[in-house]
């Protein structure tokens, strides 16, 4: 027996939401989250980036998990520029290094390169490999907060890593950490939201 309704999907960029269009410049409609080979070929030629999904994980058209993932040409270019900036940052000379073995474990260091002090930024390194960065948060009015951001390193640059409940700077902020070293700990160990602070951090935190 046929279903009375069927689901129609519009493939779009996973970053900005730009929709895929057909030859008539209208949004393209598909019936599943896996693109046909000819459509994949057309999009790739147009500069789209496609990450293949996994049919073993996907449970049907309504399931958002496991389907193909797309990035439009503009977002691909933006990611490339971010990666270029990341490589340029790593090419800058080191000016300050802090050994974090006692707090993060053997091999972990905080490093500042030329220009990082001006933005109150530290790269978090593990045995010479950059795993992320921590920085004081700058408000829209240009003033500095006492809270710290933690950003994980990835292929497209840095992605914000939210604070834990115990390590957050404020009950009203999900992403600011209460100290530089706690933010670095978040990068190094990626704790769950309800994880307690490490012993060296103490229990107190600022609440707003």
Q: How far is CA 127 from CA 30, 44, 100, 106, 152, in A?
A: 47, 37, 11, 9, 16
Confidence grade of residue 60 (pLDDT, cut at 50, 70, 90) = confident
Point out the domain boundary residue: 91, 113, 131: 91
Average pLDDT, rounded, for the chain = 88
**Residue 57 in this model has a pLDDT that exceeds 70:** yes
Range 111-116 average pLDDT? 92
Whole-model pTM?
0.63
**Residue 1 in this model has a pLDDT that exceeds 50:** no
The C-alpha angle 140, 142, 147, rounded to 5 degrees, equals: 80
Point out the domain boundary residue: 64, 91, 118: 91
Range 133-154 average pLDDT? 92
Q: Are 107 and 145 in a shared domain?
A: yes
Parent domain of 147: 92-201
pLDDT digits 0-9 by tens, 85-113 = 777 877 888 999 999 999 999 999 999 99
d(CA 35, CA 46) in angstroms, rounded, equals 15
Question: What proportion of the chain, given as a percentage, has pLDDT over 70?
Answer: 93
pLDDT digits 0-9 by tens, 24-39 = 999 999 988 899 999 9
The number of distinct structural domains making up the chain is 2
Q: For residue 45, is it within any domain?
A: yes
pLDDT digits 0-9 by tens, 179-193 = 999 999 999 999 999
Point out the domain boundary residue: 91, 114, 142: 91
pLDDT at 206: 47
pLDDT at 89: 76
């Amino acid at each position: 027996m046929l279903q009375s309704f069927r689901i129609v999907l519009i493939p779009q960029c996973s970053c900005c939401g730009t929709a895929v269009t057909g030859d008539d410049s209208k949004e393209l409609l598909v019936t599943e989250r896996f693109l046909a080979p000819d459509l994949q070929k057309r999009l790739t030629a147009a500069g789209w980036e496609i990450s293949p999904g996994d049919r073993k994980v996907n449970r049907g058209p309504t399931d958002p998990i496991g389907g193909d993932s797309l990035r439009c040409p503009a977002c691909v270019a933006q990611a490339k520029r971010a990666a270029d900036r990341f490589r340029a940052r790593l090419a800058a000379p080191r000016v300050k290094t802090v050994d974090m073995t006692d707090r993060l474990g053997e091999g972990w260091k905080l490093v500042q390169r030329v220009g990082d002090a001006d933005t109150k930024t530290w790269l978090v390194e593990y045995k010479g490999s950059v795993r992320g960065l921590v920085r004081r948060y700058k408000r829209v009015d240009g003033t500095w907060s006492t809270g710290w951001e933690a950003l994980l390193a990835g292929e497209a640059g840095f992605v914000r890593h939210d604070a834990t409940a115990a390590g957050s700077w404020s009950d009203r902020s999900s992403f600011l950490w209460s100290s530089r070293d706690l933010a670095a700990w978040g990068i190094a160990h990626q704790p769950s939201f309800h994880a307690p602070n490490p012993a060296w951090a103490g229990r107190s935190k600022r609440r707003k």
